[in-house]
Structure 1
């Protein structure tokens, strides 16, 4: 670990640690929370999934929404990367495609906070056993 050279670096480190701790605490009661999975396979990362995940976490934090945000492997929608699966408490998961920064904000604002359906949902083409 490198030395912390400024107060700003210390604040940034503190925020990162608090975010990780919050995720751990929320994982025990995840059924009652918004759950978001960001596809972070090679195709997702190449399409900007890291930035998408950062924006999602930032937007949830700004709006005070308790959620568990995790990364997952390939969802099989490489043509629509970055892809994000959002599960609201008591609802079926919705998969959104082509989720860049602006789209991530829209998902949080409209779908997560106001529970409005928005364009960009990848239709389910299979059923679970």
Structure 2
């Protein structure tokens, strides 16, 4: 009986976890610098503790601006930057000077998915 219960609980946990995983978008689904007339700023929105878009591709020297649309305050952190606590409607900008891939996440809400910025 205990083995059946344990098996059931493990299967239920697996199904819950599997439902939380999303596919990584193809490159044509990414927000790419220059889509809006060669702009040097990309805006990422924070909605429901998720970054929209999650993946952006920019050029060296471009700026990413995050805008918090959630009612909860959030702090965004990457390897080379950290925002102050952003309340609803607040924004934070960071300019990326070097090529590379930058991951960032919400330190105030660690269960959320991270975002990725590719600097070409």
Instruction: Provide TM-score, normalisation by structure 2.
Output: 0.28
Query: Structure 1 or 2: larger strand share?
Result: 2
Query: Structure 1 or 2: larger helix share?
Result: 1
Larger Rg: 2
